[in-house]
Homo-oligomer: A and B are copies of this chain.
Amino acid sequence: MAGVSLKTVTNVVHERPYVKQETRERVLAAIAELDYRPSRAGRQLQSGRSNLITLVVPRIDEPYLGGLAHALISAATPRGLRLLIDETSSQVEQELEAANGYPGHGIDGVIFSPFALNPEHLAARSHDVAMVMLGQFLPDSTADYVAIDNLGSAADAVAHLVGQGRRRIGFLGAQPGRPGALGEVRRSGYQAALVGHGLVPPSGGIAPGRRFTRESGEAGVREVLARAPAVDALVCASDLMAVGAIRALQRHGARVPDDVAVLGWDNIVDGEYTSPTLTTVAPDLGALADQTLDALIRRIEGDRTPGREYVVPHRLVVRQSSGG
């Protein structure tokens, strides 16, 4: 050591009072000299906190989730947190472990994008870990939810398409029977907005999509074109579905946007490189990450108030696919 007691070192490291300036400097010099770094394991054992949080998603290689992870890492670092990533493959078993906070692993909090779970699963969890949910909404007693205004953004999307002269507007990615599911919320917002413009969904113009994948976008287009060949616009529950939809439309000989306009959610980077480029609802990912981490940190610090909802800004990014 540098002629000082262990306790004083702790006091220096934690910037406690009752340490003379000169002593402090001597200790800091010694720390630098020895290249000392406090052991996370020791601290965790002592404090019960690991400063590790886990982002739980079905797969990390989906473009939107990659962008989300990027935003969360950028926001976590200045807050002294480090991010683990866990993939559930949308399996109930794995999502349950996430919902229980990986007991024994010393995870401080979980940022959870659920897929297979229902509220009963959540209510039955044994441990209650600090948790913030993204994407799918699941009512829960103490977990917060952070998202854009899905009803409002659906209304923005419909208003834009109507403004472009579209009247027979279909929807891909409905999730009938799963109230609260992202696709259902967006579909209901879309439908309400249509009504607000004096329109209704064209018969057969709504296709389900259990997963928001390119494949389900392609399948949805096949379904809708078979049942409602006159649609002149498709609102897709995600950009990934929209990418698949554009490809399927082009294969069917439909021109985008001349014959059919296409619009999605998420503002994934690829939307700028499709042909035509993709009109999309862009969430403010930076704000989303900030809100998520702030809420999570409050939970980690012991906040046990009922779970609340945070809304982050979005904007409609108009590109070629909507004819704008």
User: When chains A and B are docked, how far (Å) is the Cα of A270 from the Cα of B37?
Assistant: 43
User: When chains A and B are docked, how far (Å) is the Cα of A85 from the Cα of B41?
Assistant: 19
Q: From known contacts A44-B41, A214-B273, infer whether A85 and B73 are also in contact, taking CB-CB under 8 Å.
A: yes
- Nearest CB in chain B: distance from A300 CB, A: 16
Q: How many residues of A contact B (CB 8 A)?
A: 45
Q: Is the CB of B74 within 8 A of A66?
A: no
Please, which residues of chain B bring their CB within 8 A of the CB of A69? Answer: 60-61, 85
Q: Is the CB of B84 within 8 A of A84?
A: yes
User: When chains A and B are docked, how far (Å) is the Cα of A24 from the Cα of B253?
Assistant: 68
Residue of B nearest to A127 (CB): B35
Q: Is the CB of B106 within 8 A of A40?
A: yes
- Nearest CB in chain B: distance from A126 CB, A: 7
Does A42 sit within 8 A of B, measured CB to CB?
yes
Does A307 sit within 8 A of B, measured CB to CB?
no
Please, which residues of chain B bring their CB within 8 A of the CB of A214? Answer: 269, 272-273
* Binary CB contact string for chain A from 176 to 192 against chain B (1 if under 8 A, 0 otherwise): 00000000000000000
Residue of B nearest to A277 (CB): B247
Does A252 sit within 8 A of B, measured CB to CB?
no
Tell me which residues from 22 to 58 in chain A have a Cβ below 8 Å from any Cβ of chain B: 35, 37-42, 44-45, 50, 52
Chain A residues close to B by CB (< 8 Å)? 35, 37-42, 44-45, 50, 52, 59-63, 65-67, 69-70, 73-74, 82-87, 103-106, 126, 214, 243-244, 247, 250, 269-270, 272-275
